[in-house]
């Protein structure tokens, strides 16, 4: 489904070359949301989030009255594996900054499709105040790979080879990178009241360029954000 290039977009783009300053700004956007009463947070994993979670760990922010939902989880990777997203979140955030309740898809579920349905039902009941997003080199958000329908709900995805290669840096070899994941759908992401997208590093240039200059197309999932009323984009890339 292609749409016109000439849509009005409310994207707030802030280009900040210095990464320390960029992540300080990211922290402040989140802090403001907490102070403004946001209670339900959509969280992301990945290298992009590390400096932000470090700032949160070292802050006074308190999430004990808040609930979190993560975007995605690998299928078939034991929860205790250091690269499972539940392990990542515990290590980077939850051990030091616990939420009243934290939700991730269960990658060990016997039936991943049933698990996706359970997660979707949970999301449908929830008003997501704030969603944190990284961006894939191919323009994915969550693990919604190119070609995913904009009205998609939580589902099981076959990871693109390029995504597995990009994530292989966290594993001993490419073979160890799972081939499937459960991801929140694009429609759930779009229901969030406020979105903060962080895109840093040259590898994200093509995807970011598509968001800022291209048309809205399911071939580049991130482009849907043009149609969201409250997205802040923080980037070190001059586009
Ligand atoms: C992670 C996620 C992904 C990442 C994206 C960028 O939960 O949903 O969309 O945000 O793959 O990953 P990094 O930050 O490692 O470049």
pLDDT of residue 104: 98
pLDDT of residue 7: 65
The answer to whether the CB of 166 falls within 8 A of the CB of 142 is no
Sequence-ordered alpha helix ranges (H) in the chain: 19-35, 50-57, 85-89, 112-124, 161-167, 186-191, 205-213
Nearest atom within ligand 1 for CA of residue 183: 8
The residue ranges of the chain whose pLDDT is under 70 are 1-7
pLDDT of residue 3: 46
Ordered by start, the domain boundaries in the chain are 24-57+65-191+203-235
- Write down the pTM of the prediction: 0.95
Q: How far apart are CA 74 and CA 156, in angstroms?
A: 9
With a 6 A CB cut-off, is 81 part of the ligand 1 pocket? no
pLDDT of residue 80: 96
Q: How far is the CA of 60 from the centre of ligand 1 (A)?
A: 26
- In the beta sheet, which residues pair with residue 131? 42, 195
pLDDT of residue 6: 58
CATH number of 24-57+65-191+203-235: 3.40.50.1360
pLDDT of residue 8: 73
With a 6 A CB cut-off, is 132 part of the ligand 1 pocket? no
140 is annotated as an active-site residue: yes
108 is annotated as an active-site residue: no
pLDDT of residue 4: 47
pLDDT of residue 2: 44
């Amino acid at each position: 489904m292609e749409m016109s290039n000439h849509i009005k977009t409310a994207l707030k783009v802030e280009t900040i070359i210095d990464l320390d300053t960029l992540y300080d700004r990211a922290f402040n956007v989140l802090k403001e949301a907490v102070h403004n009463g946001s209670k339900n947070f959509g969280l992301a994993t990945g290298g992009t989030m590390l400096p932000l979670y470090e700032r949160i760990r070292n802050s006074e922010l308190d999430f004990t009255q808040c609930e979190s939902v993560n975007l995605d989880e690998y299928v078939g990777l034991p929860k205790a594996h250091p690269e499972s997203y539940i392990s990542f979140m515990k290590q980077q955030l939850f051990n030091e900054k616990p939420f009243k309740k934290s939700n991730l898809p269960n990658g060990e579920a016997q039936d991943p499709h049933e698990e996706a349905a359970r997660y979707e039902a949970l999301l449908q009941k929830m008003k997501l105040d704030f969603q944190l997003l990284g961006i894939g080199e191919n323009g994915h958000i969550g693990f919604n790979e190119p070609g995913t329908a904009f009205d998609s709900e939580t589902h099981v995805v076959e990871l693109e080879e390029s995504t597995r290669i990009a994530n292989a840096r966290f594993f001993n070899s490419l073979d160890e990178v799972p081939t499937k994941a459960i991801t929140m759908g694009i429609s759930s992401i779009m229901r969030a009241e406020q979105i903060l997208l962080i895109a840093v590093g040259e590898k994200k240039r093509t995807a970011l360029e598509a968001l800022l200059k291209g048309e809205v197309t399911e071939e580049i999932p991130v482009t849907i954000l043009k149609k969201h009323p409250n997205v802040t984009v923080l980037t070190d890339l001059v586009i």
